Amino acid sequence: MILIDTHVWIWLHSNPDNLLPSSLELVQNAGRIAISPVSLYETMVAVEKGRLESQFKPETLVRRWLAAMDITRIPVSDEIVIQSRTLYFDHADPFDRIIASTAFHENIPLMTADRNLLKLEWLKTIQAR
């Protein structure tokens, strides 16, 4: 299983060319792809603020995207929240922390293009772009 970061999920639906060909192939051939509910929130905010164009309301877009992919949702548990505050991070973005902590807690790699997350030694990552 691979956990995908919010921007990877957005790119998969809106512009897959943003992903490395090897990353896109990995997603397409992976047994299971997972997402954090935090990414749903971030996607809705991106639509609301005009950073992501959509003809749909934010909640409709998210529901359509969820229905379009066989994607596992990993709930945010107490332990994930605790780890998001106790694991070493170079930055304070709470959503990045929760997503990275989810991958760590589940012992799965995180596909991301976020340089701050890619350089974390304790986090298994896959370069998205």
DSSP 91: S
47-58 pLDDT per residue, tens? 999 999 999 999
Task: Describe the crossing of helices 37-48 and 6-14 by its angle, rounded to 10 degrees.
Answer: 60
Q: What is the mean pLDDT of residues 33-44?
A: 98
**Cα radius of gyration (the chain):** 14
> Is the per-residue pLDDT at 31 higher than 90?
no
Per-chain mean pLDDT for the chain: 96
In terms of CATH, what superfamily is 2-127?
A: 5'-nuclease (3.40.50.1010)
What does the domain layout of the chain look like in residue ranges? 2-127
61-74 pLDDT per residue, tens? 999 999 999 999 99
E strand or H helix that includes residue 4: strand 2-4
Q: Which residues contact 60 (CB under 8 A, 6 or more apart)?
A: none
> Is the per-residue pLDDT at 30 higher than 90?
no
Q: What is the DSSP string of 14-83?
A: H-GGGS-HHHHHHHHH-S-EEE-HHHHHHHHHHHHTTSS--SS-HHHHHHHHHHHS-EEE----HHHHHH
Tell me the pTM: 0.95
77-89 pLDDT per residue, tens? 999 999 999 999 9
Residue 126 bridge partners (DSSP): 111
